[in-house]
Amino acid sequence: METASFNGFLKTILYIIAFYYIFKFLAKLFLPVLAKKVVEKASQQFEQQQQQYQQQQQAQQKAQEKPREKKVVGEYVDFEEIE
């Protein structure tokens, strides 16, 4: 069984600190680009939903504008009661 050495402990701490700063640097470099792409994609999806909604509304308006044909059954006769 190996015993932990002080040099190994320092190396581990040094690696953790180095990893932290490298990660922090890369995050500053790439997160704005990633966030911009996410916002653009959400914007495109919103625009597509708006277009679909507008098309549905236009289709409903066209359907409502068409007058319904009434069936011609015959003439209306008004009856009077005789006493």
Query: Could you report the per-residue pLDDT of 18-74, keeping only the tens digit for each?
Result: 999 999 999 999 999 999 999 999 999 999 999 999 999 988 888 776 666 677 777
Give the global pTM: 0.51
Write down the pLDDT at residue 27: 96
Task: With a cut of 80, say whether residue 76 has pLDDT above it.
Answer: no
One-character DSSP codes across 26-79: HHHHHHHHHHHHHHHHHHHHHHHHHHHHHHHHHHHHHHHHSPPPPP--------
Query: Residue 12 carries which side chain, given as an amino acid letter?
Result: T
| Residue 58 or 76, more confident | 58
